[in-house]
Amino acid sequence: MVKPVLAIHGGAGALSRAVMSSEAERQYRAALDGILRAAHAVLAKGGGALDCVAQAVCLLEDCPLFNAGKGAVFTSAGTHELDAAIMDGASLNSGAVANVEHIKHPVLAARAVLEHSNHVFFVSRGAEDFALSQGLEMVENHYFSTPQRREQWLRVVNEFPGQAVLDHDAARVQAQAEAPLDPDRKFGTVGAVAIDVRGNLAAATSTGGVTNKQIGRVGDAPIIGAGCYAANRTAAVSTTGTGEMFIRVVAAYDVAALMDYAGLSLEQAAEKVVHEKLVAIQGQGGLIAVDGKGNVTMPFNTEGMYRGYLRQGEEPFVAIYR
C-alpha cells in the first residue's frame, strides 16, 4: 500500500535582494508547513487525493502571501483575473476556469466544473455564472487586492509601461523585496499534487497570472496538460513559471508522456522538461509531481521555489531555495 503524500508549491522565482533569513522567510515557511499539515489531514483520514489537492489549493488561495485568490497580482487595468484547474488521475475527469473576477476560490469553481458539468473549461462570465449556479462564494474584485500587490503593480507600470512583468532586470527597479523570492521576479502560481491511500492521483493549480498582464491573457495554469495534469498510470503534475513557455512545451502532460512512452522515471521526466525542454525556449519556473508509487519530485530552473511535501508518518519538508 502507498503512503499518502501531498506536495504543494507557491511559485518559483529569483532570490530577493533582501536579507535571506528574514522574518518574511519564516512566514512563508510557516504558511507552507501549516497548509501541508491541514490538507494532508484529508489523506490521513483516508480521504481522496482530489479532495486533498482542492483543500490545499483553497488554503493557498486564502493566503495573501501567494499569487492566487487573495493576494493575486494586478492586470494592466488594475483589476484581478484568476485562473484555476483540477484533474482527477483515476478518471481523467478535469475542470478549469479562466479570467474569473469574482469567484473567491477559483479552484472550487474548477472542481464544480469537473463534478457537475459535461464540459471541462469555462471562461469569464460563463465561468462566473456557472460558479454562481453551484452556490460558490462570490466576492467583489477588490477582495483579491493587497497593498503589497498594488505597490508591485504601480512599480511595474511606472518602470515598464505596457509590459507584463515576470522576469525583468530587477536591478532597474527599486523593488521592496521583503519576501525571500523577489516579488517582481517570481512566478506566483500555487499548486498541489497528491496520492491517496488507494493509489489515486490528483493535481490542482491556481493563479492570478502575471503582474500587469493584458486583460484576457491566460497562462498555463488553467490549461489541462500545460499547467495541470494527473493520470494514475503516470503522474500528477502542477507547474509554475512563464506560462507561455509551459503552454508551448505542454509541460505537465509531457512529464506524464515521457514516463508513459519513453519509460523515464518521474524524476528523469520532470528533469527533462524543466532543465532541457523549457530551458531551450527560455522557459523559467518549475513543477511539483508525484507518481503512482508515491515518489515526489520538485525541480525548478530558477533560484528558488516555494515548495514542500508531507508523507504520511513523516514531518513536513519545506524549502524555498535550491
Instruction: Say whether residue 55 binds ligand ASP (CB under 6 A).
Output: no
Residue 207 a catalytic site member: no
Side-chain half-sphere exposure of 223, counting CA atoms within 13 A: 20
Q: Give the gyration radius of the chain's Cα atoms.
A: 18
Return the range that interacts with ligand ASP (CB under 6 A); candidates 139-147, 193-201, 206-214, 292-300. Answer: 206-214
Among 145, 207, 232, 234, binds ligand ASP (CB under 6 A): 207
**Of positions 4, 5, 8, 11, contacts ligand ASP by CB under 6 A:** 11
CB of 303 to ligand ASP, least distance (A): 15
Residues 106-165, interacting with ligand ASP (CB under 6 A): none
| Shortest CB 300 distance to ligand ASP, Å | 11
Using CB atoms, what's the residue nearest to ligand ASP?
243
62 or 260, CB closer to ligand ASP?
Answer: 62
223 touches 120 (CB < 8 A): no
Query: Which position among 189, 207, 211, 302 bears the catalytic label?
Result: 189
Q: How far is the CB of 321 from ligand ASP (least distance, A)?
A: 18
241 binds ligand ASP (CB under 6 A): yes
Task: Compare residues 185 and 311 and give the one whose CB is closer to ligand ASP.
Answer: 185
> Which listed residue (69, 225, 243, 299) binds ligand ASP by CB under 6 A?
243
**Among 23, 199, 221, which Cα is nearest to 107's?**
221
Q: Which stretch binds ligand ASP (CB under 6 A): 24-32, 109-117, 177-185, 204-212?
A: 204-212
Q: Which is nearer to ligand ASP, 200 or 284 (CB)?
A: 284
CA atoms within 13 A on the CB side of 26: 3
Residues 39 and 26: their CA atoms lie apart, in Å, by 20
Cα(202)–Cα(257) distance, integer angstroms: 16
Site membership for ligand ASP, residue 238 (CB under 6 A): no
- Judged by beta carbon, residue 79 or residue 134, the one nearer ligand ASP is 79
Region 209-228 residues binding ligand ASP, contact defined as CB under 6 A:
209-210, 219-221
Contact yes or no for 4/196 (Cβ under 8 A)? yes
Residue count, binding to ligand ASP (CB under 6 A) = 15
Q: Which of 211, 229, 240 is nearest to 306 (CA)?
A: 240
Residues annotated as part of the active site = 189
- Binding stretches for ligand ASP (CB under 6 A): 11, 67, 187-189, 207, 209-210, 219-221, 240-241, 243, 285
